Each structure stands twice: as structure tokens, then as C-alpha cells.
Amino acid sequence: MSMADLLVIITDVLLRTVFVMYFPRSFLNFTPVCSTNFAIAFAATLISVWFTVAFTLDRFVAICYQNVKAKYCTERTATVIMGIVTVFSCLISVPWYFTRDPEYNMDNIPWGCVFKQAFFNLTSWALFELLMLSLMVWFPFFLLLLVNSLTARHILMSGLVRRGLRGRYTGDNDPEMENRRKSVVLLFCISGSFLLLWITEVIYILSERVFGTPYVKGSEFESVALMLQVLSTCTNTAIYVLTQNKFREQMKSAVRYPIYLIVKLVKN
């Protein structure tokens, strides 16, 4: 998940936006390079989104189906699923390369990338974009919401059983119950953040399709939509990782260690 998110930052933020904006004469502005990076950025985003879904499904099986956890929640299974997601995302993102035309020609060299007019006129491209939007937003959000709801229900029901077994008056001070309540909040934060950060991009794309006008390059709404969409690829990883006790302890140790060395050096 972290590597997929890093790939999104490199391709979508650095190569496709920052470098192109501040280094307009670099090789990244050649139309073939620009078109390739455009397709890779979509593939990286798709990989990042579905890695989050796969991780959520893995946690769902591990929490709700303890009897099959040892069989399916393994490193080998995770490797196979990541491989399938990566190959599928790369293959289905290839058509994005053919949606771009040169912005202008200089010395018979194509520069820049703009959407082809056919991209807005042909029904086939509209259906392709709808498919990609469904794979990036609607299907993942539905699965995240469904799986997290089932996981939360399992946690709550298990909590009620545990409280009944421990006694009516001990449940309020039960640290296990507190951890489960935090898990429920965490699961819905993931689904909510995913929807909120993608909704602007969805509105932007749908509005452009409804009004039949080309994408407004450099518009403020487009910039905000892109910023939130890119941000969505890393929030879930941060939420998952930062809420793990072991990770927090390791981070505290990493912060304290340089201070410890400085103090030791001063004392010596």
C-alpha cells in the first residue's frame, strides 16, 4: 500500500504536475512521454485504491472468520492478489495513452498533452471513463462500506457477548471493549475519508460530461479536485498505520534516539 501511494505521488504529483509546470522544456513534456506518464498515473491510482480494498478484505476475514484466517490470510495469498491487481490495473489503464494529442509542434517534435476532441464526442470514450470512475470510486467505496460495516457489526456483537460473559458491571472498564470501539470508529473513518476526498473529482468529471465542454485546464475547481483525489491515495495508509500501537512505539523510539545521542554526547 505504501509503495503504491508513493508511486502515485511520483507519477501524478511530481512528474505529471510539478515537473511539467516548472520545467516546461524538459523531456517530460514530449507528447509520448507525457501520454505514457498520464496512463501510468491512472494505473498507480487504481493500484493504490484496490490495495486498500484488498487490505480491508484481509482484515475482514482475519477478524470475522478465524477458522479460515490461517489458510487465506498468508503472505503467499497477499502476493498473488497484489500481482493480479497490479497487472489488471496496468492493462486497463493502457487506453488512457490514446486519449491525448500534442498541444503544439516545435521543429516537428510534438509537445504537451491535451485531450483529443474525440474523447468528448465518442460514446466509447464516455463509457470507458465511466468504467474507470466506477473502478476507482464507486465499486471500492461500496466494498469498503459493506466490508467495514460487516466488520463493525461483528465487533459490536462480539462485544455484547463478551460483556455478558464478563458481567454487567465490568464492561465499562474492559480495555478490550475500548479497543473494539476504536476499531469501529477507525473503519468508518476510512470509508468516510475515501468518499469525501473523491467526491469533488467525481462532481468535476460528471459536470464536464453533462455540459459537454472540454476539461478546463488550470481551473481552481480542477486543481482542488486533483489535490483531494491524490490526497485520498495516502490517507487510508496513514490511518491504518498510525493507529497501530507497534508503529507508534517505533516512531517514538526513532524520535527519541537522536535526542538520546545528543544528550549522551553532551554528558561525555
Q: Can you tell me the mean pLDDT for 231-243?
A: 69
Assigned domain for 199 exists: yes
- pLDDT tens sequence across 189-228: 777 777 777 787 777 777 766 665 544 444 677 777 777 8
* Amino acid, single-letter form, for residue 59: R
What stretch of H or E contains 106?
strand 104-106
Assigned domain for 42 exists: yes
- pLDDT tens sequence across 78-94: 889 989 999 999 999 99
Assigned domain for 265 exists: no
Let me know if 45 is exposed, middle or buried by CB neighbors in 10 A (0-12, 13-18, 19+).
buried
- Give pLDDT, residue 6: 76
34 or 4, which is more confident? Answer: 34
- pLDDT tens sequence across 109-118: 888 888 888 8
- Give pLDDT, residue 171: 47
Rounded Cα distance, 53 and 46, in Å: 11
What stretch of H or E contains 100?
strand 100-101
Assigned domain for 118 exists: yes
Is pLDDT at 95 greater than 90 in this prediction? yes
Instruction: Please state, rounded to an integer, the average pLDDT across all residues of the chain.
Output: 78
Asked whether 110 and 30 are in contact (CB, 8 A), the reply is yes
Assigned domain for 58 exists: yes
Asked whether 191 and 145 are in contact (CB, 8 A), the reply is yes
The CATH number of whichever domain residue 202 belongs to comes to 1.20.1070.10
Least confident of 38-47, 66-75, 210-219: 210-219
What is the value of pTM for the model shown?
0.76
Asked whether 7 and 44 are in contact (CB, 8 A), the reply is yes
Assigned domain for 92 exists: yes
Q: Looking at the 3D structure of the chain, how many domains does it have? A: 1
Q: Which domain holds residue 211?
A: 2-246
Assigned domain for 212 exists: yes
HSE value, Cβ hemisphere, 13 Å, CA-based, for 258: 3
Assigned domain for 257 exists: no
Rounded Cα distance, 29 and 27, in Å: 5
Q: Can you tell me the mean pLDDT for 99-108?
A: 84
Q: What is the CA radius of gyration of the chain?
A: 23
Chain mean position to CA 84: 17
Rounded Cα distance, 20 and 33, in Å: 11
